[in-house]
Structure 1
Amino acid sequence: MPFDHNDHYHRLLLRRLPRHGLTALDVGCGTGRFARRVAALGYQVDAVDPDAGVIAVAEGIGQGPRYRRLDISEARLPRGHYDAITCLASLHHMPFTTLTRLREALAPGGVLLVLGCYAGHSWWDLAAVPANTVARAGVWSAKRLSRAEPPPLQAPVRAPRMSLDDVRRESARLLPGARIRQLLYWRYLLTYRAAGGS
């Protein structure tokens, strides 16, 4: 049943983008769905992913972002360049210290948004189980009625290793002032704003 936990939070993330931002970097863009939504807001979007297959699919769809096959944990990013950097369910595929590279690539006043996955379970996660079942059933019914085709390719998936407590502790060390909010569907939202800007 095709309910995408990450897509569920697109609107939440879009509302947190800087209103007058010009440049954005989407890390681990997969087939580019979120990057295209950011580009539709007027941003010039660099969308990167290490997987050649999903980049090929994204380029085939087109519509705005500049796609590039790139391992962000090893890449040299332009310092102080991006007004927004987004990372949806991809940080756990790379060293967590990659956050320092992303922080340095933010323009003054720029915003880093990480929709992350964490390992382990808490009482809050119990609430996600019935919500997840209802959401999956609703999406499955809608797709069945519309006879929509499933997406041709999904990005590779890896289980997260860091608990939410680990994420909070390491974020406080690497990004002082970052805020972590636990979300449904085994996700968290990390928000960090660079100093400066208007």
Structure 2
Amino acid sequence: MPFDHNDHYHRLLLRQVPPSCRTALDVGCGTGRFAHRLADLGIEVDAIDPSEEAVSEARARAGRALGDRGPRFQPADVTQTELPGGHYDFISCLASVHHMPFGTVAALRDALAPGGVLVILGCYPERTRLDWAWSLAAVPVNAVARLAVFVRDKLAAAATDRDRDRMRAPVAQPTMPLPQIRREAAVLLPGCRIRRLLFWRYLLVFRNRS
């Protein structure tokens, strides 16, 4: 039953886009669903992912959806890519930071334009009692959400399209616990805000005030 935890938070992430945002970078874009939502706002979007298969699917969907106004998808590993300094008004990472050394956020920070915003929808392993309490709370909500999506799709008779949408980029299990994420982020992204979300996620928001 297809319920995507990352997609669930798209609207929350879009609320972090700064006013008059013109340029954005989506890191670990997968098949491009969030990059498409940014492009729908009239933003010029660069979207990168190390999976060539995912980028190929993202490009195909971009061609169908937005034509020349779609995101620019490129297969690239952000840890080996030189990003333009002070360029992007908005940078997003959806469930991708745990695929790379956390210190990579420093390069993303430096790629922000003055007033730019970096948002990370991150994953973390359950290590503390509080982690397990949030996980336990998420289980019944997750089950209800999955059932609701399943029923909606059945009623919409959209099985064929959904099969394409279920294609996923490679996944990895997170290893850095949330307390360590908070400590390292405080050094690399001073002034950032981190809050725990349901569905085994956290939201990090950093604003470049330079």
Deviation at 1:147, TM superposition (A): 2.2
Larger mean CA deviation between 147-156 and 176-185 belongs to 147-156
Cα distance in structure 1, aligned partners of 2:122 and 2:157? 31
Instruction: State the distance in 1 between where 2:189 and 2:75 align.
Output: 26
How big is the shift at 1:125?
2.1
Return closer, same or farther for 1:151/1:29 CA change in 2, 3 Å cut-off. Answer: farther
TM-score, normalization by structure 1: 0.96
Give secondary structure in 1 for the equivalent of 2:98: helix
Residue number in structure 2 paired with 1:151 = 163
Moved more, 145-154 or 167-176: 145-154
Taking the aligned partners of 2:134 and 2:95, their CA distance within structure 1 comes to 19
Structure 1 partner of 2:182: 168
Equivalent position to 2:114, from 108, 119, 143: 108
Does 1:42 find its partner at 2:54?
A: no
1:190 aligns with 2:204: yes
Shift of 1:122: 3.1
Out of 131, 134, 142, which is 1:132 matched to?
142
Hey, what's the Cα distance between the residues in 2 that align with 1:91 and 1:74? 14
Q: Quote how far apart the aligned CAs of 1:92 are.
A: 0.5
**Alpha-carbon separation, structure 1, partners of 2:153 and 2:85:** 43
Residue in 2 that maps onto 1:7 = 7
Q: What do the CA deviations read for 1:101-158 (whole angstroms, capped 9, x no partner)?
A: 0000000010000000001133222211111010001001111222222333211111
* Amino acid aligned to 1:173: V
The residue that corresponds to 1:22 in the other structure is: 22
- Of 85-94 and 148-157, deviating more is 148-157
Return structure 1 stretches of 4+ with deviation > 6 angstroms: none
Distance (whole Å) between structure 1 residues aligned to residue 157 and residue 101 of structure 2? 40
Measure the CA separation in 1 of the matches of 2:88 and 2:45. Answer: 9
Of 75, 82, 95, the match for 1:76: 82
More helix by share: 2
User: What is the total number of aligned residue pairs between the two structures?
Assistant: 196
TM-score of the superposition, structure 2-length normalised?
A: 0.91
Q: Which moved more, 1:181-190 or 1:163-172?
A: 163-172
Shift of 1:19: 1.5
Cα RMSD between the aligned structures?
A: 0.9
- Is 1:123 the counterpart of 2:133? The answer is yes
* Letter aligned with residue 48 of structure 1: I
Q: Whole-Å Cα distance in 2 between the matches of residues 115 and 164 of structure 1?
A: 12
Q: 2:54 maps to what in 1?
A: 54
SS at match of 1:108: strand
1:167 positional shift: 1.0
**1:179 corresponds to which of 193, 198, 201:** 193
